[in-house]
Amino acid sequence: MPSIAPRISASRIGLLPVRLLAWIGRQGARAIAALVFIGLAVPPLGAILKPYVTPAVFILLCISFMRLDADAMRGYLKRPGLVIAATVWTTIVVPMIAGLISVGTGFNTLSPGLFLGVMLQMVASPMMAAPALAALMGFDATLVLVTLVTGTALIPLTAPIFAHVFFDGALTLSPLALGGKLLAILGGALLVAALVRWLAGAAAIARHKQPIDGLNILVLLVFVSGVMENVAATFWAEPLKMLGLTLLAFAVFLVLLGLTVLVFRGLGRPKAMALGLMVCQRNMGLMMAATDGALPGLTWLYFALSQFPIYLSPLLLKPLVGRGVDTDRS
Protein backbone atom coordinates (compact mmCIF):
# COMPACT_ATOMS: atom_id res chain seq x y z
CA MET A 1 0.00 0.00 0.00
CA PRO A 2 1.58 3.31 -0.99
CA SER A 3 2.35 5.78 1.81
CA ILE A 4 0.19 8.89 1.94
CA ALA A 5 2.73 10.74 4.13
CA PRO A 6 4.17 13.83 2.40
CA ARG A 7 7.48 13.22 0.82
CA ILE A 8 10.17 15.66 1.80
CA SER A 9 13.17 15.75 -0.49
CA ALA A 10 16.69 15.69 0.89
CA SER A 11 17.30 19.12 -0.60
CA ARG A 12 14.34 20.61 1.30
CA ILE A 13 15.55 19.00 4.54
CA GLY A 14 18.96 20.48 3.88
CA LEU A 15 17.40 23.93 3.55
CA LEU A 16 15.73 23.78 6.96
CA PRO A 17 18.79 24.92 8.97
CA VAL A 18 19.34 27.80 6.53
CA ARG A 19 15.69 28.84 6.80
CA LEU A 20 15.86 28.63 10.59
CA LEU A 21 18.97 30.85 10.62
CA ALA A 22 17.25 33.29 8.26
CA TRP A 23 14.21 33.44 10.56
CA ILE A 24 16.44 34.13 13.57
CA GLY A 25 18.26 36.81 11.57
CA ARG A 26 14.97 38.51 10.70
CA GLN A 27 14.11 38.98 14.40
CA GLY A 28 16.65 41.79 14.62
CA ALA A 29 16.48 43.84 17.83
CA ARG A 30 14.11 41.36 19.53
CA ALA A 31 16.55 38.49 19.13
CA ILE A 32 19.50 40.60 20.32
CA ALA A 33 17.60 41.70 23.45
CA ALA A 34 16.46 38.10 24.09
CA LEU A 35 20.08 36.95 24.34
CA VAL A 36 20.56 38.77 27.65
CA PHE A 37 17.44 37.27 29.21
CA ILE A 38 18.28 33.75 27.99
CA GLY A 39 21.74 34.06 29.52
CA LEU A 40 20.22 35.32 32.77
CA ALA A 41 17.39 32.79 32.96
CA VAL A 42 19.33 29.63 32.03
CA PRO A 43 22.55 29.51 34.12
CA PRO A 44 23.28 25.84 33.20
CA LEU A 45 23.54 26.93 29.57
CA GLY A 46 26.18 29.44 30.63
CA ALA A 47 28.14 26.74 32.44
CA ILE A 48 28.14 24.61 29.30
CA LEU A 49 29.06 27.45 26.94
CA LYS A 50 31.61 29.32 29.09
CA PRO A 51 34.63 27.34 27.76
CA TYR A 52 33.63 28.40 24.24
CA VAL A 53 33.54 32.18 24.87
CA THR A 54 36.96 32.77 23.27
CA PRO A 55 36.19 30.74 20.11
CA ALA A 56 32.83 32.54 19.89
CA VAL A 57 34.58 35.93 19.95
CA PHE A 58 36.90 34.74 17.18
CA ILE A 59 33.97 33.56 15.04
CA LEU A 60 32.16 36.88 15.55
CA LEU A 61 35.27 38.71 14.37
CA CYS A 62 35.52 36.44 11.31
CA ILE A 63 31.88 37.09 10.39
CA SER A 64 32.30 40.84 10.77
CA PHE A 65 35.49 41.01 8.69
CA MET A 66 33.91 38.72 6.10
CA ARG A 67 31.09 41.23 5.58
CA LEU A 68 33.26 44.33 5.19
CA ASP A 69 32.20 46.47 2.24
CA ALA A 70 35.48 47.49 0.60
CA ASP A 71 33.83 50.01 -1.74
CA ALA A 72 32.04 51.76 1.12
CA MET A 73 35.30 51.92 3.07
CA ARG A 74 37.17 53.51 0.17
CA GLY A 75 34.61 56.31 -0.03
CA TYR A 76 35.30 57.44 3.54
CA LEU A 77 39.05 56.82 3.33
CA LYS A 78 39.20 59.34 0.47
CA ARG A 79 38.08 61.92 3.07
CA PRO A 80 39.98 60.67 6.11
CA GLY A 81 39.66 63.66 8.44
CA LEU A 82 36.43 62.52 10.11
CA VAL A 83 37.60 58.91 10.34
CA ILE A 84 40.88 59.98 11.96
CA ALA A 85 39.06 62.21 14.47
CA ALA A 86 36.59 59.46 15.39
CA THR A 87 39.38 56.87 15.66
CA VAL A 88 41.50 59.07 17.93
CA TRP A 89 38.46 59.79 20.10
CA THR A 90 37.43 56.17 20.63
CA THR A 91 40.92 54.62 20.76
CA ILE A 92 42.98 57.21 22.63
CA VAL A 93 40.93 60.00 24.19
CA VAL A 94 38.19 57.85 25.78
CA PRO A 95 40.56 55.46 27.64
CA MET A 96 42.83 58.36 28.60
CA ILE A 97 39.94 60.29 30.19
CA ALA A 98 38.70 57.17 31.99
CA GLY A 99 42.16 56.33 33.31
CA LEU A 100 42.91 59.84 34.55
CA ILE A 101 39.53 60.14 36.29
CA SER A 102 39.94 56.70 37.91
CA VAL A 103 43.42 57.46 39.22
CA GLY A 104 42.50 61.01 40.22
CA THR A 105 39.51 59.87 42.28
CA GLY A 106 41.28 56.83 43.79
CA PHE A 107 38.85 54.44 42.09
CA ASN A 108 41.78 52.25 41.02
CA THR A 109 42.70 51.50 44.64
CA LEU A 110 39.15 51.56 46.05
CA SER A 111 37.98 48.68 43.80
CA PRO A 112 40.82 47.19 41.72
CA GLY A 113 38.65 44.49 40.11
CA LEU A 114 35.98 46.95 39.03
CA PHE A 115 38.62 49.45 37.89
CA LEU A 116 40.19 46.73 35.73
CA GLY A 117 36.80 45.94 34.21
CA VAL A 118 36.06 49.57 33.35
CA MET A 119 39.54 50.17 31.93
CA LEU A 120 39.51 47.00 29.80
CA GLN A 121 36.15 48.22 28.50
CA MET A 122 37.63 51.63 27.68
CA VAL A 123 40.74 50.34 25.89
CA ALA A 124 38.72 47.83 23.83
CA SER A 125 37.79 48.57 20.25
CA PRO A 126 34.13 49.05 19.32
CA MET A 127 32.06 45.89 18.96
CA MET A 128 32.24 44.19 15.59
CA ALA A 129 28.43 44.17 15.64
CA ALA A 130 28.29 47.98 16.00
CA PRO A 131 27.72 48.67 12.27
CA ALA A 132 24.88 46.16 12.17
CA LEU A 133 23.29 47.69 15.28
CA ALA A 134 23.68 51.18 13.82
CA ALA A 135 21.98 50.07 10.60
CA LEU A 136 19.25 48.35 12.62
CA MET A 137 18.51 51.68 14.29
CA GLY A 138 18.26 53.55 11.00
CA PHE A 139 21.76 55.01 10.62
CA ASP A 140 24.24 54.79 7.77
CA ALA A 141 26.66 52.21 9.12
CA THR A 142 29.54 53.04 6.76
CA LEU A 143 31.19 55.64 9.01
CA VAL A 144 30.84 53.28 11.97
CA LEU A 145 32.35 50.44 9.95
CA VAL A 146 35.38 52.39 8.75
CA THR A 147 36.11 53.83 12.19
CA LEU A 148 35.69 50.38 13.73
CA VAL A 149 38.25 48.93 11.31
CA THR A 150 40.82 51.68 11.88
CA GLY A 151 40.28 51.64 15.64
CA THR A 152 40.53 47.86 15.83
CA ALA A 153 43.76 47.93 13.83
CA LEU A 154 45.30 50.23 16.45
CA ILE A 155 44.20 48.20 19.50
CA PRO A 156 47.25 45.86 19.55
CA LEU A 157 49.36 49.03 19.86
CA THR A 158 47.24 51.25 22.13
CA ALA A 159 45.89 48.63 24.58
CA PRO A 160 49.36 47.56 25.83
CA ILE A 161 50.33 51.21 26.35
CA PHE A 162 47.25 51.97 28.44
CA ALA A 163 47.66 48.66 30.28
CA HIS A 164 51.23 49.61 31.20
CA VAL A 165 50.29 53.13 32.29
CA PHE A 166 47.11 52.39 34.25
CA PHE A 167 46.73 48.72 35.25
CA ASP A 168 49.95 46.83 34.56
CA GLY A 169 49.93 44.98 37.90
CA ALA A 170 46.24 44.07 37.76
CA LEU A 171 46.64 41.67 34.83
CA THR A 172 48.26 38.25 34.90
CA LEU A 173 49.28 39.03 31.31
CA SER A 174 52.05 41.50 30.52
CA PRO A 175 51.14 44.49 28.33
CA LEU A 176 53.42 43.16 25.57
CA ALA A 177 51.77 39.72 25.71
CA LEU A 178 48.34 41.41 25.64
CA GLY A 179 49.28 43.24 22.45
CA GLY A 180 50.62 40.05 20.90
CA LYS A 181 47.44 38.12 21.68
CA LEU A 182 45.24 40.90 20.30
CA LEU A 183 47.30 41.00 17.12
CA ALA A 184 47.06 37.21 16.74
CA ILE A 185 43.28 37.13 17.29
CA LEU A 186 42.54 40.04 14.94
CA GLY A 187 45.05 38.94 12.29
CA GLY A 188 43.78 35.35 12.36
CA ALA A 189 40.16 36.46 12.03
CA LEU A 190 41.06 38.73 9.11
CA LEU A 191 42.84 35.88 7.31
CA VAL A 192 39.93 33.48 7.81
CA ALA A 193 37.45 36.11 6.63
CA ALA A 194 39.55 36.86 3.52
CA LEU A 195 39.67 33.14 2.69
CA VAL A 196 35.88 32.81 3.04
CA ARG A 197 35.30 35.87 0.83
CA TRP A 198 37.69 34.45 -1.77
CA LEU A 199 36.01 31.02 -1.77
CA ALA A 200 32.36 32.14 -1.50
CA GLY A 201 32.48 35.54 -3.17
CA ALA A 202 31.11 38.87 -1.93
CA ALA A 203 27.86 38.42 -3.88
CA ALA A 204 27.04 35.12 -2.16
CA ILE A 205 27.77 36.63 1.25
CA ALA A 206 25.44 39.55 0.52
CA ARG A 207 22.77 37.20 -0.83
CA HIS A 208 22.79 35.15 2.38
CA LYS A 209 22.56 38.16 4.68
CA GLN A 210 19.68 36.86 6.81
CA PRO A 211 21.14 33.38 7.50
CA ILE A 212 24.47 35.00 8.37
CA ASP A 213 22.62 37.39 10.71
CA GLY A 214 21.02 34.35 12.34
CA LEU A 215 24.39 32.63 12.75
CA ASN A 216 25.78 35.83 14.24
CA ILE A 217 22.97 35.89 16.82
CA LEU A 218 23.53 32.23 17.76
CA VAL A 219 27.26 32.82 18.25
CA LEU A 220 26.42 35.91 20.32
CA LEU A 221 24.26 33.61 22.48
CA VAL A 222 27.37 31.53 23.24
CA PHE A 223 29.27 34.65 24.32
CA VAL A 224 26.46 36.25 26.34
CA SER A 225 25.47 33.01 28.09
CA GLY A 226 29.09 32.24 28.91
CA VAL A 227 29.78 35.58 30.58
CA MET A 228 26.42 35.62 32.40
CA GLU A 229 26.74 32.16 33.97
CA ASN A 230 26.75 33.34 37.62
CA VAL A 231 24.80 36.58 37.27
CA ALA A 232 21.38 35.29 38.39
CA ALA A 233 22.79 33.50 41.46
CA THR A 234 24.79 36.55 42.47
CA PHE A 235 21.71 38.76 42.06
CA TRP A 236 19.92 36.61 44.64
CA ALA A 237 22.92 36.45 46.98
CA GLU A 238 23.99 40.12 46.77
CA PRO A 239 21.14 42.17 45.27
CA LEU A 240 22.40 45.62 46.32
CA LYS A 241 25.87 44.97 44.94
CA MET A 242 24.47 43.71 41.65
CA LEU A 243 22.04 46.61 41.40
CA GLY A 244 24.95 49.02 41.89
CA LEU A 245 27.03 47.28 39.21
CA THR A 246 24.08 47.30 36.80
CA LEU A 247 23.52 51.02 37.36
CA LEU A 248 27.24 51.63 36.79
CA ALA A 249 27.14 49.64 33.53
CA PHE A 250 24.20 51.71 32.25
CA ALA A 251 25.81 54.95 33.47
CA VAL A 252 29.08 54.24 31.64
CA PHE A 253 27.14 53.35 28.49
CA LEU A 254 25.08 56.55 28.59
CA VAL A 255 28.05 58.79 29.47
CA LEU A 256 30.05 57.45 26.51
CA LEU A 257 27.04 57.90 24.25
CA GLY A 258 26.31 61.43 25.47
CA LEU A 259 29.92 62.64 25.40
CA THR A 260 30.48 61.35 21.88
CA VAL A 261 27.27 62.92 20.57
CA LEU A 262 28.33 66.21 22.22
CA VAL A 263 31.84 66.11 20.73
CA PHE A 264 30.61 65.31 17.21
CA ARG A 265 27.37 67.33 17.28
CA GLY A 266 28.70 69.56 14.50
CA LEU A 267 28.32 66.66 12.05
CA GLY A 268 24.56 66.62 12.55
CA ARG A 269 22.49 64.36 14.79
CA PRO A 270 22.50 61.18 12.65
CA LYS A 271 26.30 60.95 12.31
CA ALA A 272 26.88 62.03 15.93
CA MET A 273 24.42 59.41 17.21
CA ALA A 274 25.94 56.71 14.98
CA LEU A 275 29.41 57.44 16.39
CA GLY A 276 28.00 57.63 19.93
CA LEU A 277 26.45 54.18 19.59
CA MET A 278 29.73 52.82 18.26
CA VAL A 279 31.79 54.24 21.12
CA CYS A 280 29.52 52.98 23.90
CA GLN A 281 29.30 49.46 22.41
CA ARG A 282 32.80 48.22 23.17
CA ASN A 283 34.24 44.80 22.42
CA MET A 284 34.84 43.48 25.93
CA GLY A 285 34.74 39.96 24.50
CA LEU A 286 37.96 40.69 22.59
CA MET A 287 39.69 41.68 25.83
CA MET A 288 38.39 38.54 27.54
CA ALA A 289 39.73 36.43 24.70
CA ALA A 290 43.10 38.20 24.82
CA THR A 291 43.42 37.57 28.57
CA ASP A 292 42.14 33.95 28.25
CA GLY A 293 39.41 34.87 30.75
CA ALA A 294 41.98 35.11 33.56
CA LEU A 295 40.19 38.01 35.25
CA PRO A 296 39.00 38.72 38.81
CA GLY A 297 35.43 37.70 39.67
CA LEU A 298 34.26 41.31 39.99
CA THR A 299 35.66 42.09 36.53
CA TRP A 300 33.72 39.15 35.08
CA LEU A 301 30.53 40.37 36.78
CA TYR A 302 30.95 43.89 35.43
CA PHE A 303 31.57 42.56 31.92
CA ALA A 304 28.44 40.41 32.18
CA LEU A 305 26.22 43.26 33.39
CA SER A 306 27.62 45.58 30.71
CA GLN A 307 25.91 43.36 28.15
CA PHE A 308 22.50 44.65 29.32
CA PRO A 309 22.79 48.22 27.95
CA ILE A 310 24.61 47.02 24.82
CA TYR A 311 22.09 44.41 23.72
CA LEU A 312 19.02 46.26 24.94
CA SER A 313 20.04 49.52 23.24
CA PRO A 314 18.38 48.75 19.86
CA LEU A 315 15.02 48.38 21.62
CA LEU A 316 15.49 51.12 24.23
CA LEU A 317 16.95 53.82 21.97
CA LYS A 318 15.41 53.13 18.57
CA PRO A 319 12.23 55.20 19.13
CA LEU A 320 14.29 58.20 20.28
CA VAL A 321 17.00 58.05 17.64
CA GLY A 322 14.48 57.19 14.94
CA ARG A 323 12.65 60.44 15.54
CA GLY A 324 15.96 62.28 15.54
CA VAL A 325 16.98 60.83 12.20
CA ASP A 326 13.62 61.60 10.62
CA THR A 327 13.76 65.16 11.90
CA ASP A 328 17.22 65.76 10.54
CA ARG A 329 16.38 64.36 7.12
CA SER A 330 13.26 66.45 6.64
pLDDT digit string (tens) for 263-313? 999 888 888 888 998 898 888 877 877 776 677 778 888 888 888 888 787
Residue 320: how many other CB atoms lie within 10 Å: 11
Tell me whether residue 90 is in a domain. yes
pLDDT digits (tens, 9 = 90+) for 201-232: 888 888 888 888 888 888 888 877 877 777 77
Tell me whether residue 23 is in a domain. no
Q: Give me the pLDDT at residue 322, please.
A: 52
Tell me whether residue 106 is in a domain. yes
The pTM of this model reads: 0.76
Tell me whether residue 191 is in a domain. yes
Tell me whether residue 1 is in a domain. no
pLDDT, average across residues 225-243: 81
Tell me whether residue 96 is in a domain. yes
Domain housing 207 = 34-329
Residue 89: how many other CB atoms lie within 10 Å: 19
Number of domain units in the chain: 1
Q: How far apart (Å, rounded) are the C-alpha atoms in residues 295 and 124?
A: 15
**Which of the two residues, 169 and 80, has the higher pLDDT score?**
80
Q: How far apart (Å, rounded) are the C-alpha atoms in residues 168 and 192?
A: 32
Q: What average pLDDT does the chain have?
A: 79
Percent of the chain predicted with pLDDT > 90 = 16
The letter for the amino acid at 138 is G
**Which of the two residues, 242 and 10, has the higher pLDDT score?**
242
The CATH number for 110's domain is: 1.20.1530.20
Tell me whether residue 16 is in a domain. no
Q: Give me the pLDDT at residue 8, please.
A: 45
Q: Give me the pLDDT at residue 170, please.
A: 63
Tell me whether residue 9 is in a domain. no
Q: Give me the pLDDT at residue 88, please.
A: 94
Q: Give me the pLDDT at residue 330, please.
A: 33
Q: How far apart (Å, rounded) are the C-alpha atoms in residues 54 and 188?
A: 13
pLDDT digits (tens, 9 = 90+) for 10-66: 444 445 677 888 887 777 667 777 777 787 777 787 778 878 878 887 888 888 778
